[in-house]
Amino acid sequence: MHALGNAQDRDSEAQAIRLTGLLALASRGDQAAWRELVGLYARRVFAMGFSRFRNRELAEEIAQSVFATVAAKLASGDYTERGRFESWLMRVTMNRIRDEARRAARQAVPTDPASLVDIREDGQRGGAERDDDSGRFLALRDALTQLPDADREVLMLRHQGQMAFKEMSELLDEPVGTLLARHHRALRKLREIMESPDAAERARRVEGR
In which region does residue 119 sit, left (phi positive, over 0), alpha (psi from -120 to 50) or beta (all else)?
beta
Alpha carbon distances (Å) from 139 to 29, 76, 126, 136, 192: 46, 45, 20, 5, 12
- Quick check: is 190 in a domain? yes
- Quick check: is 2 in a domain? no
How large is the greatest C-alpha to C-alpha distance in the chain, in angstroms?
Answer: 58
* pLDDT at residue 117 in the model: 45
Q: Are residues 153 and 126 in the same domain?
A: yes
Q: Are residues 91 and 149 in the same domain?
A: no
The CATH number assigned to the domain holding 91 equals: 1.10.1740.10
- Quick check: is 24 in a domain? yes
Which positions of the chain have pLDDT values less than 70? 1-10, 107-137, 198-209
* pLDDT at residue 129 in the model: 45
- Quick check: is 96 in a domain? yes
HSE of 98, CA atoms in CB hemisphere, 13 A:
10
Alpha carbon distances (Å) from 198 to 18, 103, 168: 50, 32, 34
* pLDDT at residue 74 in the model: 93
Q: Are residues 123 and 100 in the same domain?
A: no
- Quick check: is 162 in a domain? yes
What type of residue sits at position 34? Answer: W
Q: Which domain holds residue 38?
A: 8-112
Q: Are residues 161 and 91 in the same domain?
A: no
Q: Are residues 99 and 136 in the same domain?
A: no
> Looking at the 3D structure of the chain, how many domains does it have?
2
How far is residue 50 CA from its own chain's centroid? 8
